[in-house]
Structure 1
Amino acid sequence: MQVTRIIPNLPAPDPAALATFYRDVFGLTAEFDMGWIVFLAGPAEKPVRMQIASEGGSGTELPAVSIGVDDLDEALARVRAAGIEPDYGPVAEPWGVRRFYLRDPAGNLVNVVTHI
C-alpha cells in the first residue's frame, strides 16, 4: 500500500468563500465544488507531506495547515492585499525557514513558509 495523497480538511461555514481566499492568495485551482466541499489543488509535480507535532515551533500554536511558497514576500503582500495581517512573523526561524502565520477568513491558523 502507498499513500497517494494527504489533504487537510479545513472547516468553514461557507466553503466557496474560503476557497476563493485560497485561490486568490495562493493561486490554487478549484478542481471540484459540491457546495458543501471544495477540492483545491496546486501543481501536480510537488510532493505531498504530513506533519505531526505538539506545537507550531518557537512556542507558537500548532497551525491547521502549512503552505510552502517560493516567495514569502509575495505571499505576505497578497495576504495583506486580502486585508489580513499576520498573527506571527514574518520571522526567520533557527531551523532554516522563514515564515508567518495568518488566520484565514474561517479562523484557521495557517503557517506560510519558505526554506532559507
Structure 2
Amino acid sequence: MTIRRIVANIDVASVAEVQKFYTDLFGLEVIMDHGWIVTLASVQIAAVQISIATEGGSGTPVPDLSLEVDDVDAAFSRAKMLGHDIVYDLTDEPWGVRRFYLRDPSGKLLNILSHPG
C-alpha cells in the first residue's frame, strides 16, 4: 500500500477567517470549496510525513502543524507585518532547523521552519 496524501483537518468556528490566515501568510491556494470545508494547497509536491513527539524540541510544546518554507526569515517578517503573535521567536535550533512558532486564528500552534543550507 502507498499513501498518496495526508491531509491536516483543522476544526474551526470560521472557515473564512482561517482560510484568510493561511492564504495571506503562506500563499496557499483554494483547490476545493464546499462552504463548510475549504482545502488549501501549494503547487509544490511534499513528502508524506507524520511526526510523533513528546515535546516540540528546546522545551517547546508539540506543535499542531509544522510548515516547512523555503525562506523562514521572510515568513517571520510577513507574520510580524500581518500582526500575528509570535509565541516562540525565530531561532536556530541545534538539530539544524531555523524556526518560529505562532498560532493560527483557531488556536493551532504552528511550527514554521526551514532547513538552512
Return the TM-score normalized by structure 2. Answer: 0.93
Task: Give the Cα separation in 2 of the matches to 1:53 and 1:6.
Answer: 18
State the Cα distance separating 1:85 from its structure 2 match: 2.7
Q: Which runs of 5+ in 1 are unaligned?
A: none
State the Cα distance separating 1:57 from its structure 2 match: 0.9
Q: Are 2:7 and 1:21 equivalent residues in the alignment?
A: no
Give me the identity figure in percent.
47
Instruction: Find the counterpart in structure 2 of residue 63 from structure 1.
Output: 63
Instruction: Find the counterpart in structure 1 of residue 73 from structure 2.
Output: 73
Corresponding pairs, count: 116
Q: Is the 8 A contact 1:72 1:98 kept in 2?
A: yes
Q: Are 2:84 and 1:84 equivalent residues in the alignment?
A: yes
Q: Which runs of 5+ in 2 are unaligned?
A: none
Map 1:1-116 onto structure 2 (within 5 A).
1-116=1-116
Q: Is the 8 A contact 2:3 2:48 kept in 1?
A: no
The secondary structure found in structure 1 opposite 2:22 is helix
Q: Is the 8 A contact 1:87 1:101 kept in 2?
A: yes
One-letter amino acid of the counterpart of residue 38, structure 2: V
